[in-house]
Amino acid sequence: MKIYIIGNYNLLNSKSMPLYANTLKKLLIKSHKVQILEPKILLNKFNFKKKFIRKWIGYIDMYILFGIYLYFKIKKNDLVHICDQANSLLFPFIRTKKLIITCHDLISIELLKNNFLKKFNKISFMGKVYQKIIFFYLKKFKIIICVSQKTKEDLLKMIKINNKKIYVVHNTFNKKFSKLNKQQRIKFLKREKINYPYFLHIGINWYKNRENLIKIFYQFIKVERRKNFKLILIGNSMTNNLKKLIIKLRLKDKIKLIQNPNFSELRSYYSSAEALIYPSIREGFGWPIIEAQKCGCPVFTTNKGPMNELGLDTVFYIDPIRSKISSKIIDKKLLCKEIIINKGFENVKRFNAKIFINKMKNIYNKVPN
């Protein structure tokens, strides 16, 4: 059986989606003929200056030209796995009935209805139309894989769909995360001139809740014995609101931004941190939680799905909105972090590659002809 994995358009600058597609290929290629197909940059080669033109030209590249290519490329007996629910728009172009799609999250669609989320982010009129089209075609797939039980529950709430056509397959690690030994950590800290204890946060999206993270950290370092702590943010440049908040709270010298670290550096930051603070208000999965645990880094996160689905009783839970209470929990729980670190090592065994790919193969075998 030939398996085609449908990846993402390069200009989207997505990191997690290519990793998901490449992980699938790497694990499947031992027993199947596998090929990743991605939309080529065609019309956008002309480097249009205006952003909205590049955006709409990108849609033509992604959904029209790539769709036509798929129509002639894929045969009726091929199996196709679309790795991102946003590419559900390709549904009309794919002739095979052996069609699967992975749904990572429904956060953008939730923005259409959820008043709580609207406080954090707004969606344009055309963005609403785009999400509704994605949703319209997503319902047509006979098999949908969700990366968490939370995503499955959200999907079932939003559309009338047969529960039996939705499967939950937790992600597996796409890199070989592990804890650095003491000598390696000392060497890393010396090289990076880090002579202070620090918390770590990973992420760039609005739902990562970075503004409340800053407020939690601000409350935490008010405690005299914690005043030497710093916060390292790994992600893209800060928003203007975030910069203003940092200046207002006089935290400029306490917060460090790291952009585009390589894997070795990321692993080192995880391994050397006092803890990962991850107060997300929404997630599809939550990679940093299990990546941190694999590197021996304790985790403080939100007690909601999918964060508590991943962490169970192996992480510490905080309220992502209530900064004072959360800071007190962090201050107290850091004293018993060694217990939670060992629990974390056990927890991450649930996300190993063998479990992941065996579940995928079982689902592939259930795809109707």
Domain boundaries along the sequence of the chain:
2-172+352-365, 182-350
Q: Which residues contact 342 (CB under 8 A, 6 or more apart)?
A: none
Residues with Cβ within 8 Å of residue 119, at least 6 apart in sequence: none
Annotation: CATH topology of 2-172+352-365: Rossmann fold (3.40.50)
CB atoms within 10 A of CB 126: 11
Q: Which residue type does 206 have?
A: W
User: Residues 6 or more apart from 224 whose CB is under 8 A from it?
Assistant: none
- Cis bond before residue 306 (omega within 30° of 0): yes
d(CA 226, CA 175) in angstroms, rounded, equals 33
For the segment 113-125, what is each residue's pLDDT rounded down to a tens digit? 665 555 566 677 7
Tokens of 224: 């005299």
For residue 174, the 8-state DSSP code is S
Q: Which CATH number fits domain 182-350: 2.60.40.3680, 3.40.50.12160, 3.40.30.10, 3.40.50.2000?
A: 3.40.50.2000
pLDDT tens per residue across all 369 residues of the chain:
799 999 999 877 777 889 999 999 999 998 899 999 999 998 888 877 787 788 888 899 999 999 999 999 999 889 999 999 999 999 999 999 899 999 998 887 776 666 555 556 667 777 778 888 998 999 999 899 999 999 999 899 887 788 889 999 999 998 999 999 999 999 999 999 999 999 999 988 777 889 999 999 999 999 999 999 999 999 888 889 999 999 999 999 999 999 989 999 999 999 999 999 999 988 999 999 999 999 999 999 999 999 999 999 999 999 999 999 999 999 999 999 999 999 999 999 999 999 999 999 999 998 877
Residue 99 CA to residue 82 CA, distance in Å, equals: 8
For 41-92, the pLDDT digits (tens) are 988 888 777 877 888 888 999 999 999 999 999 998 899 999 999 999 999 9
